A and B are shown apart, each in its own frame.
Chain A
């Protein structure tokens, strides 16, 4: 996020949510937004293909078709420019590329956009006016924007809109992606990516490479590594022989699970660190029992780039150990075997960490944006949002104040492009995926939390009454949903939360995970699969009475 949760909740005069089921996926932020709307009078606009919970609180719900975000955003910008509502001073002083944006946006009249998105033209006019009249405004988005083949242009279009309105670098403004997992932000910050070292220092950058070579005492490649989807392809070909996975479950969370299964089966040696015997565990060769968040010490980074402590409260069960202990043990053994021989004089060649604090010190030394994130400051209760460039640097709850990190903010205009796979004669419905309030991702944790499981014990597929009638399906019936890649059986929930032609499924339940159906087509830059749109067909698989027979 460019801004903090607090300034958005307390100072935004308009909140625009696009592609985020905020009250179910980031419930505490969702509650704060509901509060801003109801008790402070902030305007709330929600753009989502489904009538999600937060849409019921909105001043305006733009129910656009999945995969039409660019058209919608361009339409909003079209109206803003037509009416002269843009922030000319901000555009002149802080941005570049505005002239190139204009002709692209000019094509997207409300009528054209209405045709593409299904949103009434007058709602587009109204939304643009609301945004213009209520500044500063914050834009929030999540996977509904990124999980598309046009994920990157989607994000850039969000930034275009906010720059046009001058909503950047101010409290209550910003472009704010809500990160899913509790430490997704930290995993990226710490170099859990194939193209960058910790702190987004590029592996292709010579200075960065030399810095880490000197620190770790080895020579390092300047070639970008494989992304998760590329890894699975390489594993299938036999090029990748060893897969080492910590606490992830690609066998429920990746697209096109049948393909994932085939890749994992083809991998010679898989090492997994996990809390439970997950779906992925079935393919592992060695499984290390890991400690949960309540059983270890360290830090995590939230969606607003704030670093916070996790603290050990209980011992891990049996012989389970924290992940950091396991990695260190392996590294020491590898050193003993001579698998790598780092220069012993390099300052961080060795693996002699006594605790998480020693690791944090190495992070401070090698990661400029975390340079001042010290254990002492965290324990003293300081609020540290990276970048924190040194021990005296205060950090930055709001980014791009007065100046963009890269100098000038750049408008990059995009045109609407259809999703990779659209409904056709054989697969006439569109499937979009997501999560529900009571479950979490592959459900490894929440299926084992008894109250949560009691609240939402089985997979449901949302389908509009019209489509249900066509398929002869009643509420609670079992339906078979099939795509070109696979099929699942789940219980139908007949509801007008979805529009006719659209169905919605989750991947919380391994046996009916929507990811058997999803399309692995990737955004060419971000390499994020298109979870949010694929073509499917449905048929009745049995009435609710047969359910027992199937789930046995």
Chain B
């Protein structure tokens, strides 16, 4: 253990920690941009500079180890002026677009510029004019004009995902964040996990599927567990007006931290797909022709167009360049295409109501159980349902239907 003083407060800290870590443990805030607690420190942005007594120059708190007897001032005039200068320099080559930026309100640069009262510099000098959204990756949006060259994306890809896709190329004002040898991301080995987006402090990298759909003050976040594989990643569903518009990493997710894979981060849009089933369906033969005709005539039931469902299942792949359109939600209109008077095959699916459909099943089950006993039933539980659902399904099998013939597709 070592003892040091930060802003006049004496602090005991473990050996080997940086000034930044010690300060944060003690609840003292030091601003940062290139630092992220999950990633290695590079000391690139100089936002975190602090004065250390006896040192000749300001020290970057994120890379300087705390030492016994150190006296640190995080808000010295020098440090504050330097931070303002750093921010001003960043703004000289940054678009003044917060009004329309996706990350407005959720941007580390914007917050610091606000905190330090830096004005957007009007000047006629050079600002970059990189092409916006130049990469065909269907998930990751790039706007290099907003890039502050902090290298967090580079380190996230190297240290978390271990794909080494990103790096800096060229020098000086020409310095550019590139994938591979200035290639498209997918050609440089990207697997579209989106870790780089999650770690970007500004709006330079963003999720393509979410462009224009809502910013942080317009959404609510709901923490949940992924519906795909068994790793059990947690993340936040970003919801606006009853629609999931984005998935964002949750730093405190116990299993995965900020990391997600392409399915977890970008595979959520099936939830709002127009193919979703929205009404109970029963084959006409279990309802009786008369009832079907009557209730359809009354506008209560409808014929379900099975053929159409099967066709919409597979769509031609999207042109990856165009942003993915929103699917209209939800499609509750069932087409009533067949002429009832000419034919109603007994196998036609009828979109009915819950009471009818549940009664059909309950009656059939009760009758079968009475005649043939529990051996006439077999049930398949779901590896996609919750524990509670599986539990009562198991209870239904054993208590209601008097059989143990329940299984699921775990073996498959």
Contact = CB atoms under 8 A, between A and B. Distances in A.
A197 interface: yes
B227 to A, nearest CB: 4
Interface in B127-170: 138-139, 159-162
Contacts of B392: 324, 327-328, 331, 351, 353, 359
A227 to B, nearest CB: 5
Contacts of B370: 339
A482 B230 CA distance: 32
Contacts of B280: 286-289, 319
B22 interface: no
Contacts of B354: 319, 321, 329
B384 interface: yes
Nearest to B372: A241
B266 A339 contact: no
A294 B224 contact: yes
A248 B382 contact: yes
Interface in A9-54: 23, 25-29, 31-32, 34-35, 38-39
Interface in A179-194: 179-194
A449 B269 contact: yes
Contacts of A529: 411-412
A296 interface: yes
Contacts of B279: 289, 318-319
Contacts of A304: 232, 255
Interface in B303-318: 306, 309-310, 313-318
Question: Residue among A221, A254, A340, A454 with the most chain B CB within 10 A?
Answer: A454
A447 interface: yes
Interface string B202-233: 00000011000000000000111111111111
Contact of A454 (B226, B318, B374): B318
A363 B228 CA distance: 24
Nearest to B243: A314
A276 B332 CA distance: 13
A377 interface: no
A287 to B, nearest CB: 4
B408 A451 contact: no
A218 B399 contact: yes
Q: What class of interface size applies to chain B in its complex with A?
A: 35 or more
B386 A302 contact: no
A286 B281 contact: yes
Contacts of B244: 294, 313-314
B394 A198 contact: yes
Given A241-B368, A275-B276, A327-B392, A225 B404 contact: yes
Nearest to A356: B388
B409 A228 contact: yes
B390 A274 contact: no
A339 B395 CA distance: 14
Contacts of B226: 182
Interface in A158-189: 178-189
Interface string A226-259: 1110010011000111111111101001110000
Interface in B378-406: 378-400, 402-406
A154 B404 CA distance: 28
A439 B317 CA distance: 14
Interface stretch (B79-87, B97-105, B357-365): B357-365
Interface string A298-318: 111111101111111111011
B184 interface: no
B193 interface: yes
B277 to A, nearest CB: 4
A7 to B, nearest CB: 12
Contacts of A452: 262-263, 266-267
B224 A311 contact: yes
B365 A242 contact: yes
B138 A455 contact: yes
B188 to A, nearest CB: 15
A330 interface: yes
A193 B406 contact: yes
Contacts of A394: none
Interface stretch (B48-56, B57-65, B234-242): B234-242
A295 interface: yes
A194 B234 CA distance: 31
Contacts of A543: none
A190 B390 contact: yes
A220 interface: yes
Interface in B244-289: 244, 254-256, 259-264, 266-273, 275-283, 286
A467 to B, nearest CB: 27
A324 B388 contact: yes
Interface string B310-341: 10011111101000100001111000000000
A126 interface: no
A340 B361 CA distance: 15
A478 to B, nearest CB: 17
Contacts of B306: 277, 282
B376 interface: yes
B263 A446 contact: yes
A550 interface: no
A288 B402 CA distance: 23
Given A31-B160, A242-B364, A308-B234, A181 B229 contact: yes
A212 B139 CA distance: 50
B286 A359 contact: no
B332 A28 contact: no
A195 B404 contact: yes
A58 interface: no
B2 interface: no
A287 B380 contact: no
Contacts of A330: 358, 361-362, 365, 396
Nearest to A221: B404
Interface string A449-463: 111111101000000
B311 to A, nearest CB: 11
B322 to A, nearest CB: 10
A444 to B, nearest CB: 8
A225 B406 contact: yes
B352 to A, nearest CB: 9
A527 interface: yes
B255 A302 contact: yes
B313 to A, nearest CB: 7
Nearest to B390: A190
Contacts of A448: 269-270, 273, 275, 313
Contacts of B372: 241
B225 A246 contact: no
Nearest to A320: B278
Contacts of B209: 451
Contacts of A306: 232, 254-255
A318 B385 contact: no
B379 A244 contact: yes
B371 to A, nearest CB: 9
A340 B400 contact: yes
Nearest to A527: B411
A213 B144 CA distance: 66
A356 B386 contact: yes
Nearest to B255: A5
A26 B259 CA distance: 12
A340 B362 contact: no
A181 B405 contact: no
B94 interface: no
A376 to B, nearest CB: 16
Ranked nearest first, the 7 interchain pairs of A and B with the lowest CB-CB distance are: A318-B278, A302-B232, A298-B386, A225-B404, A317-B330, A192-B381, A27-B261
26 contacts: A28-B261, A57-B162, A181-B409, A183-B230, A187-B381, A187-B408, A192-B407, A192-B408, A228-B412, A244-B378, A245-B379, A247-B382, A286-B361, A294-B224, A298-B387, A309-B225, A318-B278, A323-B389, A331-B396, A333-B362, A340-B402, A445-B270, A448-B313, A450-B324, A451-B267, A451-B324
Given A247-B384, A329-B354, 8 more contacts: A26-B230, A28-B264, A192-B382, A225-B403, A240-B378, A242-B377, A254-B412, A293-B225
